[in-house]
Amino acid sequence: MSDVEEDLKVRPYKETHVNRVLVLAGLLTMSVPVLAHHGNASVENKTVVLKGSVTEWLWTNPHTFLKFDVKDDGGNVTHWTAEWNNPSTLVNFGFTARTFKAGDQVTVTLSGVAKSGAPIGRLKSVLLPDGTLMTEDESVGK
């Protein structure tokens, strides 16, 4: 039998099956960290309400981000970034890629902020200039 014929020789079913099971087990083992996703260790679980001006609305996967500027009483500006859910979930609550525009004056409620003091938080709701409350909380308005 030539080398080419030897290379083309069909492996026994048992050997192929064992290899497939081992590859699948390896892939499953490597994917476990993906299930962890986000932890809460760096987030302080408190509600913070801020009034500011939208600078950017990032409609991206796996999370959306609202960036906005907040002025304190002294006129100093803090650039905040707030994380929300993914677009495929938010569309079920009336959100679109055009829900927020740069310059919109909004009242943002965060359900958690960075323990480090960085201006980063998790969005809970946003009150639009026209009085519309954008939220994923199904109990709001009921």
Tens of pLDDT, residue by residue over 31-83, are 555 545 556 667 788 999 999 999 999 999 999 999 999 999 999 999 999 99
The number of folded domains in the chain is: 2
In a domain, 28, yes or no: yes
Cis peptide before 62 (omega within 30 of 0): yes
**C-alpha 73 chain-centroid distance:** 31
* Shared domain check, 77 and 121: yes
In a domain, 141, yes or no: no
The pTM score is 0.70
* Shared domain check, 54 and 116: yes
Residue 42 confidence (pLDDT) = 73
Hunting for tokens 């100093």 — which residue is that?
76
Going by C-beta distance under 8 Å and a sequence separation of 6 or more, which residues neighbour residue 53? 68, 69, 103, 104, 105, 106
* Shared domain check, 129 and 70: yes
Instruction: Tell me what percent of the chain is helix, strand and coil, each rounded to the nearest 5.
Output: 25, 35, 40
* Shared domain check, 51 and 16: no
* Shared domain check, 69 and 8: no
Q: Which residues pair with 70 in a beta bridge?
A: 78
Residue 44 confidence (pLDDT) = 84
* Shared domain check, 90 and 73: yes
Tens of pLDDT, residue by residue over 85-125, are 999 999 999 999 999 999 999 999 999 899 999 999 999 99
Owning domain of residue 53 = 43-135
Contact 97/80 with Cβ under 8 angstroms? no
The band of 84, judged by pLDDT with boundaries at 50, 70 and 90, is: very high
In a domain, 140, yes or no: no
Q: Nearest 5°: CA angle at 49, between 76 and 71?
A: 10
Q: Which two tokens stand for residue 37?
A: 């996703």
* Shared domain check, 104 and 82: yes
* Shared domain check, 114 and 47: yes
Report the largest interatomic distance among the alpha carbons of the chain, rounded to a whole angstrom: 87
